[in-house]
Amino acid sequence: MVAAAAVCLEARAPQRASSAPPPAWVACAGGAAGATIHPVRRLTALADKAVVEPDIVRVFAQREREQRVSAANLAAARLSIDFLYAAGDGAARIYYYEASKTIPDAEGLLRVSVAGWLRGDGASPRSLGAKSELHWIELSGDTDGEPPLIPEPAPIPDAAASLVPLGVLGRANGHIWVMRRAIGKGAVLVYDVGAAGVRLRPTPTAGGCS
Percent of the chain predicted with pLDDT > 90: 32
Q: What is the number of structural domains in the chain?
A: 1
User: What whole-number distance in Å separates Cα of residue 28 and Cα of residue 188?
Assistant: 8
Instruction: Report yes or no on 13 lying in a domain.
Output: yes
- 151 versus 135: the higher-pLDDT residue is 135
Instruction: Report yes or no on 209 lying in a domain.
Output: no
> Averaged over 168-195, what is the pLDDT?
86
Instruction: Report yes or no on 133 lying in a domain.
Output: yes
Number of helices (H), then strands (E), in the chain: 3, 11
User: What whole-number distance in Å separates Cα of residue 210 and Cα of residue 196?
Assistant: 27
Q: What is the pLDDT confidence band of residue 144, given thresholds at 50, 70 and 90?
A: low
Instruction: Determine how β-strand 127-138 pairs with β-strand 108-119.
Output: antiparallel
Instruction: Report yes or no on 208 lying in a domain.
Output: no
**pLDDT value of position 9:** 40
Instruction: Report yes or no on 32 lying in a domain.
Output: yes
> Averaged over 10-33, what is the pLDDT?
65
Cα distances from 133 to residues 75, 113, 162, 172, in angstroms, run 17, 5, 10, 32
Instruction: Report yes or no on 206 lying in a domain.
Output: no
Instruction: Report yes or no on 161 lying in a domain.
Output: yes
Containing structural domain, residue 105: 4-201
**pLDDT value of position 2:** 37
Please say if the pLDDT value at position 57 is more than 90.
Answer: yes
pLDDT tens per residue across span 104-137? 876 788 889 999 999 987 767 789 999 999 888 7
Please say if the pLDDT value at position 24 is more than 90.
Answer: no
Please say if the pLDDT value at position 8 is more than 50.
Answer: no
